Structures are given as C-alpha cells and as structure tokens.
Amino acid sequence: QVQLVESGGGLVQAGGSLRLSCAASGLTFSSYNMGWFRQAPGKEREFIATITERGTFTYYADSVKGRFTISRDNAKNTGYLQMNSLKPEDTAVYYCAARPGGTSGITYEYDYWGQGTQVTVSS
C-alpha cells in the first residue's frame, strides 16, 4: 500500500519560512519523480515544483521560483519543499505526489497523492 504523508504545515507571518516534508512508503521512492501542488479554497489544484528521481533536475512554477526549493533524500524516502519569503497568497493546502517516468506539472499524470497539509500565511 503506497502512502505519501505530508507534514510541516502551519501558520506563519508574511516573509517567514516553512519546510514541508513528504514521507513515502510502499513504493521504491528513488524510482519516482516527485511533485508538490497546492490548492486554495475555491481554486483548482496548482502545480508548484517537481524533481526527478535522483534530484538532478528541478522545475518550478513562476509564482514560487526563487522562493521555494524542492529537494529529496532517497535514503530517507522523503521529499521536501523549503518555502521562504512566504506571502498571504501562498495560503493553501499543499500536496505531494509521485509518478514514474518523466517530470510533470499536470495533476492527472501523478499516480499517488498525500492527504495534504495546510499552510496559512498571515499579513
């Protein structure tokens, strides 16, 4: 049974930082590309960042480029999203996802999803 479990969300003031974690089990984590998405109330799920199986390539949405960093530790079966210079518009539920094959920014191309973690940025 594949599980992705996000953690690290919370309430932070604008300009602050958070680091999200995504713990994977039930799959060979190092064989999967990983992505982070977010969904704000009343909005569609939005692509944030993706990283290849070995972490050699990363890609970011323009909205977070230069502020967020995606990374992974395959020895720990865990992915990360470091979020700096947070803005109120970053408030959303953040999800990690995994897929085999190449990287993707498209939600339906991911096979496995976590349950999400809430990030709230106050102004």
Task: Find the farthest-apart pair of alpha carbons in the chain and give their distance in angstroms, rounded.
Answer: 40
Q: Which of 83, 100, 101 is nearest to 38 (CA)?
A: 83
Which residue do the tokens 């094959």 mark? Answer: 101
Question: Which regions of 74-116 does DSSP assign to beta strands (E)?
Answer: 78-83, 92-99, 112-113
pLDDT tens per residue across all 123 residues of the chain: 999 999 999 999 999 999 999 999 999 999 999 999 999 999 999 999 999 999 999 999 999 999 999 999 999 999 999 999 999 999 999 999 999 988 888 888 999 999 999 999 999
Q: Which of 72, 114, 73, 71 is nearest to 95 (CA)?
A: 114
In the Cβ-directed half-sphere of 63, how many Cα atoms lie within 13 Å? 12
